[in-house]
Chain A
Amino acid sequence: MSKFKNKKDNSLPEISTASLPDIVFMLLFFFMVATVMREHTLMVKNELPFANQVEKLDRKNLIMNVYAGKPSSRYKSFGGAARIQLNDKFANLEDIKAFVLAERAAKRESLRPFLVTSLKVDKGTNMGLVGDIKKELREVNALKINYTTKKGEASDNLK
């Protein structure tokens, strides 16, 4: 019996937590490196559609973002119809031209031909709005566009 008791006394040694800070730091560094701070606060619903034939946009500073979609729940007062968002503000179709020209003017001249307009449009939006945006972009000669999508099967969009 005493033998039995002795064994129980030799219970597990305490786990050393000395390496815990190191582990946490490792995770921290990972997230710090992987994080991209969002530039704009989204005011529209922005569920991007899926596609698998995608190309990566690599020059981050040469992208103009145009968001479109229904106003998100916080901004219900703006109505239920899909709206355009440029730079933290709801915008009308006519504002797109001014926006593109302003973005263009802010870039060095040698870089201007490489500006890409990234259309971040909610997948439930009607094509009418997207067509109008495209027409505005054509009028200011911003012809390079990118339909920003998530990676996935395109057939999921139809569900």
Chain B
Amino acid sequence: MIRRLAPKVNAESMADIAFLLLIFFLVSTTIETDSGISRKLPPLQDKPTDAIIKKNNLLRVAINQDNMLSVDDELVDFKNLKAIAIAFLDNGGELNCDYCRGEKIKSSSDHPTKAVISLVNTRETSYGAYIAVQNELIGAYRELRSRESMRLFGVSFDGLKKSLNEKMSKKEKNAVKERIKRIQLMYPEKLTEAESKS
């Protein structure tokens, strides 16, 4: 029997075709950003409740219409905001705070669980400045949480969170969740935002 060999396919144009596809994908690609600062909005309330916060437990951060930053009515450079926030949260002035490493000044916050940061902005404040301030404040919380997580469990707070995605038994997962909760309770994110002033 005569075997008929299939004619060889010319593969020279393969490169051209592949190039064409490549260029199409190069042009149509947009590297989409899918990360950001996650926040939870407070639920809407009918009546604003009067919360009584001691003056020393409140850090008033404000951004004005020219994107200038003030903390407790004093103009502050943006670079110092994180350090100020950390010093305020970690102060531990009055109530016994065995994990605080702050200076325990009477005029600053009593305890991390009592410390509240209030962020006020005007309607003319730019979104970029607002995000920058949010970023620094969240950075302050994250740094403190990470420090305590390192001290207690030997892993950073982010490491703890990341380990939740790994494969493990339910028991271990619950243990990790417990740890995350414990750290979160040590430095709860008490960041309030007043409705913007016009």
Contacts and interface: CB of A to CB of B under 8 A. Distances in A.
Interface string A30-55: 01101111100000000011111111
B144 to A, nearest CB: 13
A51 B195 contact: no
Contact of B123 (A28, A38, A131, A149): A131
Contact of A124 (B25, B29, B128, B135): B128
B32 A54 contact: no
A114 interface: no
A138 B122 CA distance: 19
B36 A149 contact: yes
A150 interface: yes
Interface string B37-61: 1111111100000000000000000
Contacts of B38: 55, 57, 116, 144-146
Contact of A60 (B34, B41, B43, B134): B34
Contacts of B131: 49-51, 123, 147, 149, 154, 157
Interface stretch (A17-25, A88-96, A103-111): A17-25
Interface stretch (B13-21, B101-109, B173-181): B13-21
Interface residues of B, number: 50
14 contacts: A24-B22, A35-B25, A49-B132, A56-B34, A126-B126, A128-B124, A138-B41, A138-B42, A144-B40, A146-B38, A149-B35, A149-B131, A157-B126, A157-B131
Interface of A: 17, 20-21, 24-25, 27-28, 31-32, 34-38, 48-57, 60, 63, 116, 118, 121-128, 130-131, 134-135, 137-139, 141-151, 154-155, 157-158
Given A124-B128, A147-B37, 12 more contacts: A48-B33, A53-B37, A122-B127, A144-B41, A145-B39, A146-B36, A148-B36, A149-B37, A154-B132, A155-B132, A157-B128, A157-B132
